[in-house]
């Protein structure tokens, strides 16, 4: 019996990566006088690593091995600037929720199903999206960013949410958009629905309970990519 829904944020609640996080990283790089630019396709590659600070470090390892600045100092500074740019982008209202997200969350809340967030992204980012689009008080737990040291695909963030809510995995359902997120959730024993997007469509979702194109609305139903739904 279903007691709670747990949502990933980036890519699942909204398409935040290409027009949000990516743009904010580039603004932070330019502001710091760095000639780094993350194109849409390069960003797709860099999404192999979850977490903004971790992603910058990965980028430097891959493309600027000779870069000599003190990364332990530079990366947090860049990431802080990036977070500020991201918040500004979101407050302009250009990034909206994916199809069906608001409907599902409202319906679940009205049915007394408990709600939580489990995201790799920094807390201010998650809050900025919720503030603009949903009632954030509906979410009992908002687990974000560095709250657990090991980010997705590690299951730690999901263990943290289950602990906080005092729930067993079998009573929850997770919504994710990427293979990293799916791995994190399934390693914590959670059933997971994947709503794919352009960056994740070709990933391995064999461990998902259901894979669909989006959550759908009555006038635009979702399409099943893998799995089946019973009525
Ligand atoms: C989200 C991420 C994040 C964002 C950037 O993964 O990978 O790194 O791209 O966020 P998920 P920060 O959807 O699996 O939670 O810069 O705030 O880290
Ligand atoms: Mg995601």
Whole-angstrom Cα distance, residue 51 to residue 59?
12
Is the CB of residue 120 below 6 angstroms from any atom belonging to ligand 1?
A: yes
* Structure confidence by residue, pLDDT tens digits, 13-33: 999 999 999 999 999 999 999
Ligand 1 atom 6, closest CA: 120
Which residues are CB-neighbours of 28 under 8 A, at least 6 positions away? 78, 79, 81, 82, 85
Phi and psi of 142, rounded to 5°? -120, 95
Res 94: pLDDT: 84
On whether the CB atoms of residues 29 and 37 are closer than 8 A, the answer is: yes
* Structure confidence by residue, pLDDT tens digits, 169-228: 999 999 999 999 999 999 999 999 999 999 999 999 999 999 999 999 999 999 999 999
Question: Any idea where the domains of the chain sit in the sequence?
Answer: 4-15+96-226, 17-91
Ligand 1 atom 13, closest CA: 10
Active-site residue list: 8, 10
* Structure confidence by residue, pLDDT tens digits, 66-78: 998 999 999 999 9
Instruction: Calculate mean pLDDT across residues 155-164.
Output: 98
Is the CB of residue 85 below 6 angstroms from any atom belonging to ligand 1?
A: no
Q: Residue 195 C-alpha to ligand 2 middle, in angstroms?
A: 10
Res 68: pLDDT: 86
Q: What percent of the chain has pLDDT over 90?
A: 96
On whether the CB atoms of residues 18 and 129 are closer than 8 A, the answer is: no
pLDDT band at residue 230 using 50, 70 and 90 as cut-offs: confident
Closest atom of ligand 1 to 24 CA is 16
Is the CB of residue 122 below 6 angstroms from any atom belonging to ligand 1?
A: yes
Phi and psi of 166, rounded to 5°? 55, 50
Q: Following DSSP, what letter does each residue of the chain receive, concatenated?
A: ---EEEE--BTTTB--IIIIIHHHHHHHHHHTT------HHHHHHHTTS-SHHHHHHHHHHHH-TT--S-HHHHHHHHHHHHHHHHHHHHHTT---BPTTHHHHHHHHHHTT-EEEEE-SS-HHHHHHHHHHHS-GGGEEEEE-GGGSSS-TTSTHHHHHHHHHHT--GGGEEEEESSHHHHHHHHHTT-EEEEE--TTTTTS--TT-SEEES---BTTB---EEES----
Q: What is the CATH number of domain 4-15+96-226?
A: 3.40.50.1000
Q: Residue 144 C-alpha to ligand 1 middle, in angstroms?
A: 9
- Class for the domain spanning 17-91: mainly alpha
**Statement: residue 231 has pLDDT above 80:** no
Whole-angstrom Cα distance, residue 67 to residue 186?
37
């Amino acid at each position: 019996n279903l007691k709670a829904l747990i949502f990933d944020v980036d890519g699942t609640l909204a398409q935040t990566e290409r027009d949000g996080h990516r743009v904010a990283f580039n603004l932070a790089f330019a502001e710091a006088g760095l000639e780094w630019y993350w194109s849409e396709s390069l960003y797709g590659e860099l999404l192999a690593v979850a977490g903004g600070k971790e992603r910058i470090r990965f980028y430097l390892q891959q493309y600027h091995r000779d870069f000599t600045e003190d990364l332990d100092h530079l990366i947090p500074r860049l990431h802080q600037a990036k977070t500020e740019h991201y918040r500004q982008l979101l407050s302009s209202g250009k990034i909206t929720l994916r199809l069906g997200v608001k409907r599902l969350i409202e319906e679940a809340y009205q049915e007394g199903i408990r709600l939580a967030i489990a995201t790799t992204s920094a807390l201010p980012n998650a809050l900025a999206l919720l503030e603009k689009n949903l009632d954030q008080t509906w979410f009992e737990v908002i687990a974000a960013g560095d709250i657990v040291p090991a980010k997705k695909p590690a299951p730690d963030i999901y263990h943290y949410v289950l602990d906080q809510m005092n729930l067993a995995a079998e009573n929850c359902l997770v919504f994710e958009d990427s293979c990293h997120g799916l791995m994190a959730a399934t390693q914590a024993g959670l059933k997971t629905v994947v709503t794919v997007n352009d960056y994740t469509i070709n990933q391995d979702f064999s461990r998902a309970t259901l894979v669909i194109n989006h959550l759908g609305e009555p006038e635009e139903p979702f399409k099943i990519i893998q799995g089946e739904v019973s009525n």
